[in-house]
Structure 1
Amino acid sequence: MTAAPAPTIGVDFGTTNTVISLTHGDDRARLVRFTLDHRELFAFRSALSFHSLQGQGGAPDERVIEAGPWAIEAYLEDPLETRFIQSFKTFAASQAFTETRILNKRYQFEDLLAAFLLRLKDHAAGQLDDLPPRVIVGRPVTFAGGAPNEALALTRYEEAFRRLGFSDIRYAYEPVGAAFFFARQLKRDATVLVADFGGGTSDFSLVRFERDTDGTLRSTPLSRSGVGLAGDAFDYRIIDQLVSPELGKGSDYRSFSNNLPIPQRYYAAFARWDQLALLRASKDMRDIRALERTALEPDKIAALIEVLDGNHGYALYRSVSSLKEALSSQAEARFHFEAGSVHIEKTVARTEFESWIAPELSAIENAVGEALVQAGLTETGVDRVFLTGGSSFVPAVREIFLRRFGAEKIESGGEFESIASGLALIGREKDLDLWTMRAPR
């Protein structure tokens, strides 16, 4: 009797969300689900919070660590006593990031990732007990950052996953995981372009899929390309166009007899809502408060101060996400942000939004072209195009592929689960070296 295949686990550790998928000795991948406030979810926010207990009589270095949506809740409940970190995947390949100090304790990247994974496991309520020794971890084609060190990132991943008890840790490109998820539906051999849009990166892989006479699915990687931007960059464009000007960006203040521009660096923090609390705690905040007295438009600086003092970053993020989602299905939508006395409302046409993100769209299209050139193919040589990830819903992003490849070749589905499920299913393959890699020694 042939032994049943061992259970496998795939981990899609994303910039915005993390998704876990399991097989139980069969050819079906099942997502790990979490319960929060009687709601079931499988996309676990890639966030951490460290809450100080000093104000509640605890020791100065005593802390409660939370992850996912529970981290967001902890931060919103007590932002002044909570250090909140999200999108920390963007630091994985950064040599400049060596450690961060949180409540008098040093944390390296692998410490943050291990803490995150351990809390995720706790919230899985038994679904991740008795883990198999092997895990297939997704990795981007191009890590985020100006000069990403791929080997450093994988070494950091390795250390974090070993702390969970894994002894056989393998890595697969995230779009390859998505490709495997999709390729199992193919009826014939095909060359597939997979476009994976995450929060921080957009990755593209061209893969040739063929089946042997015994039905075994084999792949030949043809090319890979990527660019370190995606959904987060779209969000920032919305904030930069709609919100920051209402909070003083582009206006002037009076210095002696001169009019000078409000420093742009105050608004760079809006690229990530959790950074606003750090801005409030920085020395820049004293200067911002002083600007209200000399600004030519003091009401706008007062609004900026109120947004920062009131810790309204998360509410802003929700408003931006709602607009982006609405513009995916409507020609125009209403942006609405209200926090305290700050009220920003404007109707936005989809064409406006597309003009704001034009630089990102151009970079994405260039990366697609690069993948084709590397593979020595033109658009006619691609049989199927599989779009996955949240930003694949943005019409202007889809239009790139519709225009270049034609609607008949475009496939989508499982936009948030395809990578994790594909990774878990790859773990069942007889020859894992065809699909995966190990961290450098």
Structure 2
Amino acid sequence: MPQTIGLDFGTSNTVAVIADGGNATVPVSFADGQDSFTSLATVLSFLDRRPSGSAQPEVGPWAIRQFLESTGDVRFIQSLKSFAASRAFQGTGIYGKRMDFEDLMATFLTLAFRRAGTTFDPASVRLVVGRPVEFAGYNPDEELAIARYRKAFAKAGFEDILFVMEPVGAAFSFAQSLTQDTTILVADLGGGTTDYSVMRFETHAGHLSATPLGRGGIGIAGDTFDYRIIDNVILPKLGKGSSYQSMGKQLEIPPNLFSNFARWHMLSVFKTSDDFKEMKKLLRWSLEPEKIELFIDLVEEDQGYPLYKSVSETKARLSSQDEVELSFAPLGAGFRASVSRRDFDRWIAPDLYKMNKALDATLDKAGLQDTGIDRVFLTGGTSFVPAVRRLFAERFGQERISGGNELTSVANGLALIGAREDAADWAVAA
């Protein structure tokens, strides 16, 4: 069997695991100074090197450092996966060079493996790629997303490519520990999407087989939860809900302008949009111009990533604390906001309801009731949110809930699947 790489290309983080053709797997690891990690932030940056050369790209923490510390002009791109299924995204200009989705993804992958110090020849390995059950975004085009993925992997030098549903990869990883036939519900709760998969695992003469019973999902996950904090805590400081004067009337500043900013991964696009030009025009008529000025400053100073980082860290701390403090220096040295888990749970309640309805639909497709599920395996960073775990515990009982290796289980399962002789049977027609 060829060497296999399982790739979990995520909205927020990317994980890769290498299998040697058997049951042994090794996560692709990265080293940054004294820090070692296996989950790489899915971000790209390009430092303007003109006129002496082309843009200098970086990935992960090196991209973040380049963006925050460089004295030169830097383009920062994040949540690349969110654009995969969008026909509206036709590429972007990077200092005089146009790059489409495939160029950006291939650049990220090539630099990521280079930063990891891997020495394999892409053409000689099998790449097993996780794909979400439902791609994120408004009216996502699944065929377009997969076509873009294929072109990106080809640009990066890969030839042998299989696509496997992300929750199937997680289920396979978990199934290695099973000692009896089991019906498993996997909930893969990432940054951009929540994916469900119901599978029946059986063992015959030591050979593990699986029958897919149903799958489903929804484009709601951790990034949506981040937005709820931004919407309730940050955006009022930037003028949301405020008004402007026009022709003798007092009108509310259009809420969609704030929604565009709250989608932090779109900040680089928003910065050159007609909506941003409209906001600048409204400044002179605003009844609270200091808030709109702050809004404009944050956009022009590319504060999207620092804001995301601050909000995401706040959300993470709410997983273990009842109340935390959110601070963000660009809003003012004295800005402090208290965020309680009770408020956070209330803000995300409509999202949890939709996630639960998507789960209902998945079980309906599988022809199962809650009682027909033997084990529930939660994976992905958003599975740490207490309200999310409570949703599953209340439906299935805490005794049926399992977890572990939440950030690497998908890639690990993908690599193990790729090492099997029947790997193609686990793949989906893409």
Question: TM-score, normalising length from structure 2?
Answer: 0.93
Query: Using a 3 Å threshold, how does the CA distance of structure 1 residues 385 and 241 change in structure 2: closer, same or farther?
Result: same
> Are 1:52 and 1:64, in contact at CA under 8 Å, matched by a contact in 2?
yes
- In 1, Cα distance between the equivalents of 2:61 and 2:320? 27
Deviations 1:52-94 (A, max 9, x none): 212xx426xx211222222222222358722222112122223
User: What is the correspondence of 1:207-246 to structure 2 with a 5 Å cutoff?
Assistant: 207-213=199-205, 215-246=206-237
Task: Give how far 1:13 is off.
Answer: 0.7
SS for the counterpart of 1:117 is helix
- In 2, Cα distance between the equivalents of 1:150 and 1:49? 27
Q: Does 1:68 align with 2:68?
A: no
- In 2, Cα distance between the equivalents of 1:151 and 1:287? 34
> Are 1:315 and 1:339, in contact at CA under 8 Å, matched by a contact in 2?
no
SS for the counterpart of 1:311 is coil
2:240 corresponds in structure 1 to 249
1:23 corresponds in structure 2 to 19
Task: Give how far 1:106 is off.
Answer: 2.5
- In 2, Cα distance between the equivalents of 1:78 and 1:255? 42
Aligned amino acid, residue 194 of structure 1: V
Out of 46, 50, 68, the position equivalent to 1:50 is 46
SS for the counterpart of 2:89 is coil
Out of 96, 99, 102, the position equivalent to 2:91 is 99
1:110 corresponds in structure 2 to 102
Of 89-98 and 328-337, more deviation after overlay is shown by: 89-98
Query: Using a 3 Å threshold, how does the CA distance of structure 1 residues 418 and 360 change in structure 2: closer, same or farther?
Result: same
> Are 1:316 and 1:337, in contact at CA under 8 Å, matched by a contact in 2?
yes
Of 360-369 and 428-437, more deviation after overlay is shown by: 428-437
SS for the counterpart of 2:335 is strand
Sequence identity percentage: 47
1:122 corresponds in structure 2 to 114
Q: Does 1:360 align with 2:360?
A: no
1:167 corresponds in structure 2 to 159
- In 1, Cα distance between the equivalents of 2:127 and 2:369? 35
Gaps in structure 1 of 5+ consecutive residues: none
Query: Using a 3 Å threshold, how does the CA distance of structure 1 residues 362 and 127 change in structure 2: closer, same or farther?
Result: farther
- In 2, Cα distance between the equivalents of 1:229 and 1:84? 24
Of 283-292 and 78-87, more deviation after overlay is shown by: 283-292
SS for the counterpart of 1:123 is helix
Aligned amino acid, residue 18 of structure 1: T
Deviations 1:318-339 (A, max 9, x none): 2211211111112222222222
Aligned amino acid, residue 74 of structure 2: T
Of 94-103 and 229-238, more deviation after overlay is shown by: 94-103
Query: Using a 3 Å threshold, how does the CA distance of structure 1 residues 27 and 332 change in structure 2: closer, same or farther?
Result: same
Task: Give how far 1:438 is off.
Answer: 4.6
- In 2, Cα distance between the equivalents of 1:348 and 1:227? 26
Task: Give how far 1:297 is off.
Answer: 2.3
Aligned amino acid, residue 394 of structure 1: V
Task: Give how far 1:355 is off.
Answer: 1.2
- In 2, Cα distance between the equivalents of 1:304 and 1:148? 29
Query: Using a 3 Å threshold, how does the CA distance of structure 1 residues 318 and 96 change in structure 2: closer, same or farther?
Result: closer
2:376 corresponds in structure 1 to 385
Of 162-171 and 109-118, more deviation after overlay is shown by: 162-171
Deviations 1:16-52 (A, max 9, x none): 1110101224412111011113211111111222222
2:127 corresponds in structure 1 to 135
- In 2, Cα distance between the equivalents of 1:333 and 1:272? 23
- In 1, Cα distance between the equivalents of 2:90 and 2:277? 29
SS for the counterpart of 1:222 is strand
Of 291-300 and 405-414, more deviation after overlay is shown by: 291-300
Q: Does 1:9 align with 2:5?
A: yes
1:423 corresponds in structure 2 to 414
SS for the counterpart of 2:376 is strand
- In 2, Cα distance between the equivalents of 1:307 and 1:47? 19
Deviations 1:111-141 (A, max 9, x none): 2211111111211113545764311110011
- In 2, Cα distance between the equivalents of 1:351 and 1:154? 39
Deviations 1:380-410 (A, max 9, x none): 1100000000111111111111011000100
- In 2, Cα distance between the equivalents of 1:44 and 1:319? 18
- In 1, Cα distance between the equivalents of 2:368 and 2:277? 56
> Are 1:100 and 1:107, in contact at CA under 8 Å, matched by a contact in 2?
yes
Deviations 1:348-405 (A, max 9, x none): 2212111111221111101111111111111111000000001111111111110110
Aligned amino acid, residue 58 of structure 1: S
1:316 corresponds in structure 2 to 307
Query: Using a 3 Å threshold, how does the CA distance of structure 1 residues 265 and 39 change in structure 2: closer, same or farther?
Result: same
Task: Give how far 1:299 is off.
Answer: 3.0
- In 1, Cα distance between the equivalents of 2:39 and 2:287? 45
> Are 2:21 and 2:420, in contact at CA under 8 Å, matched by a contact in 1?
no
> Are 1:233 and 1:271, in contact at CA under 8 Å, matched by a contact in 2?
no
- In 2, Cα distance between the equivalents of 1:437 and 1:352? 40
- In 2, Cα distance between the equivalents of 1:88 and 1:310? 20
Out of 121, 144, 148, the position equivalent to 2:140 is 148
Query: Using a 3 Å threshold, how does the CA distance of structure 1 residues 268 and 58 change in structure 2: closer, same or farther?
Result: farther
> Are 2:122 and 2:157, in contact at CA under 8 Å, matched by a contact in 1?
no
Of 345-354 and 124-133, more deviation after overlay is shown by: 124-133
Gaps in structure 2 of 5+ consecutive residues: none
Query: Using a 3 Å threshold, how does the CA distance of structure 1 residues 243 and 343 change in structure 2: closer, same or farther?
Result: farther
- In 2, Cα distance between the equivalents of 1:152 and 1:218? 31
Query: Using a 3 Å threshold, how does the CA distance of structure 1 residues 277 and 79 change in structure 2: closer, same or farther?
Result: farther
> Are 2:6 and 2:16, in contact at CA under 8 Å, matched by a contact in 1?
yes
1:435 corresponds in structure 2 to 426
- In 2, Cα distance between the equivalents of 1:79 and 1:354? 40
Aligned amino acid, residue 177 of structure 2: Q
